[in-house]
Structure 1
Amino acid sequence: MGSLLMPLLGSVAAKAGDMLVGELLRAWGLDKARRKLERHLAAVQCILLDADAKSRTNPAVHQWVKDLKAAAYQADDLLDGFRYEALRRRAAEIRRRHRCSRAGKVLSYFTANSPVVFRLSMSRKMKDALEIIDELVVEMNKFQFLQHKESPSVDHPQTHSHVDESEIVGRQDDKEQVVKILLDHSNNNNDNSNVMVLPIIGMGGIGKTTLAQLVHNEQRVKLHFELVLWACVSDKFVIEEIVRSIIEVATMKKCELTHMEALQKKLCEVLGKKKYLLVMDDVWNEDRHKWDDMRSLLNSQAGSGSAIIVTSRSDQVASIMGTLPPHRISLLNEDRSWELFQRNTFQREAEKQEELISIAKNIVHKCKGLPPAIKTIAALLRSKHHSQWFSVLDSDVWKDEILTSTAIVPALQLSYDHLSSEEKICFSFCALFPRIA
């Protein structure tokens, strides 16, 4: 809800600062109220993200955010009314010399469309709206929300290349397929003008980064390529930062260079026409021009047979960056899902839990092969007595309770956070309709 409020409050603040609205409110003696409204809106926008986060677990904060939303819509409608009146007055000024007689103008002050009545009505509404927002700001201060000064970016944890292969379930076939593509391409490629780019595509949490880690650490890959590099890209596709990251990984030294020309020359020195494999993990960039600039740098000093692996949730990213069709990761099948569940629940005591096997398999089936969901259910069941497992299986409530408090929601939240303000509002609107089975 808070992420939807951000564009709404921004719109209200823009209307409060509108020049025409300001002129009208000054003429009506309401400029002080307008400026107070602007200050309140600025204060609320600074804490909105923290309020949104806390509203998920604190009922009082949830109600406060709900009341704020209603107050924001009320203020938005009110300011629309002021702007309409300001525009009407400006048009009337142009026509003033051609209006009716003075008697007619005096009479108009006492009709249903009287500007005096309108002014009194709107002034009262302004006062009422400001009183509500005043109360919300006083209550806001009691919650002691954390502030942010700028529109924050999504916090993405940095990924790395390390993985414990013994802990991975169900990705061995995927690894072999990707390794084969890399080695076959490299052995058959005599053209170093273009680096091969293989996208690995799949939904959040399905195991794209894990697969890339497995390939990165495969001994055959390390022996085949002269350089094997890892770069976590995430949502900010800043070429300077990516180049600096590649340089630091290749040299194992901090790169202090800031100018793009110096970074470009250092990258050429590091790559040095060597045959390299670069993993670009968690790419969101859908700007073709940015990728073209990055690709030009990576191609310029690539040895024959060099390759890039790109992991992303976006088909558009695969279309822009890939030189080969993307490798799509599928959900775990029933056997692999059960194996993963056992590792995280029964561990080595599965033989002693025969009475739970049937219930547990049905619960795993509900996870539909998504690894984070399976691990989440496993963690939940470990904390429950065996007698409670059937109620977990039989109830639909467990979906909300689990999926809203685990790693699954951040994965989905990340996708939502990358929508534009307008798309977020559309998403919220569509959520009003029931899902068709």
Structure 2
Amino acid sequence: MAEAIVSLVLKQLGSVLSEQASGCIGKQVSLVWDVDEEVEKLTHNLEAIQAVLFDAEQKQIKNAAVRLWLHRLKDVCYDVDDVLDEWNTAILKLRIEGVMIIMLLLRRRRDGGIGKTTLAQFAYNNNEVENKFDKKIWVCVSEPFDEIRIAKAIIQSLKNNTPNVAELEYLLQCIRDSVKTKKFLLILDDVWTENNKKWEPFYNCLKNGLHGSKILITTRKESVARIMKSNDIINVGELSNEENWLLFEKLALSERLPEEYKNLEEIGRKIVRKCKGLPLAVKTIGSLLQFKKSKEQWQHVLDSEMWKFEDTEKGLLTPLMLSYNDLTLMVKRCFVCCSIYPKDYNIDKRTIVDLWMAQGYLRKEKNDENENITGEEYLDYLVTRSLLQKHKSFSDSYMMHDIVHDFAQFLGDKECSSIEVYGDEDSLKNSPRDKRGLPHNITSGDWKISKFEAFGI
């Protein structure tokens, strides 16, 4: 047993030396004076101990002094392993922070800004991070905190299948059994709840994972991170006013003639200042104003009474509402209809166009083919307004930013809904129907059954 522990620690030490030699950790670690010398010294000592361990483990049966020495050795090795685990966590944190420097230099913020989810995705998809874990799990938590859905999402990632049950204790036991032989990385994206009692059952079963497992959360509320007892909190700052202007300029002014640019620049800079350093707000309002040609139209946006309203998203509601109000009636309906999908869902082009068509949201042409073209035009239009995003990996799929999704759900509160039903087909038929006959999504946990499929409409 002692030999196995020493071998594990030596492997950890080798990893630290490799990081030092490759320079992957960066200058920050070099501030720890002589750390490489201490690591090498400890490595040599443990290698010398390892050479006599086999003989010592044989003698401990008859020699109490040797048995005591081995016991103390194991205690020390466990302490060293804990320190090295903290060291590797610090290295991971530095890498993530390094990505934020890099991303600023590459101006990745032009796509909407370096946000919490973007940063978590870089960590999640990093090859070196991936090699350190047996399993990676990504769950969009959102609001409300749905324990059943979250548990099922974790199980799906761990076992590639989801049990068709709605008993939380059963699902938590599945998680507990599945992680006990695995070193995992769990990303909980967009956490809102400050109720520790909802999180505690997950924590109790997840701590059954192998030593070195990590949980990373993203949240808009620092209090949530503290309630969940986060060890390291990285605050993602806002863009500077000049960086926001460059993003806005690219969207709203890049195609303008010099005279037109000069005529609109002053108003544009005032509008950018109203966006409070939030790249999504800048991107949304910039996407709106690229279609506005006159100075009067830009002034109308600047003077809108809506800027005076404070909201929970710190300035995001106004740009979103201004963009939404500029849509035609049918495009508005199509946008709100997208809220029936859960957050982080890949919206299939064919499926959403069929849904719009079934609801009569598309212009009636001579044949279905023309209706499909109209549906694709609506999708492209929503993308140009930054209300939808094209999926980076799948050409026929779309996604909605989580804040935009919240906005769409707010607008569709009385028109669209999502109902998750656990059980067989009979329970789907007995599910509550929307009294207005407008779209809602009824699912059995996999988010694939629309109202029209469930009721044969």
* TM exceeding 0.5: no
For this structure pair, what is the TM-score category when the shorter chain's length is used for normalisation? 0.3 to 0.5
Structure with higher Rg: it is: 1
Structure with greater proportional helix content:
1
Q: Normalising by the residue count of structure 2, what TM-score does the alignment of the two structures yield?
A: 0.41
Q: Normalising by the residue count of structure 1, what TM-score does the alignment of the two structures yield?
A: 0.42
Query: Could you say which structure has the greater relative contact order, defined with CA pairs below 8 angstroms and 6 or more residues apart?
Result: 1
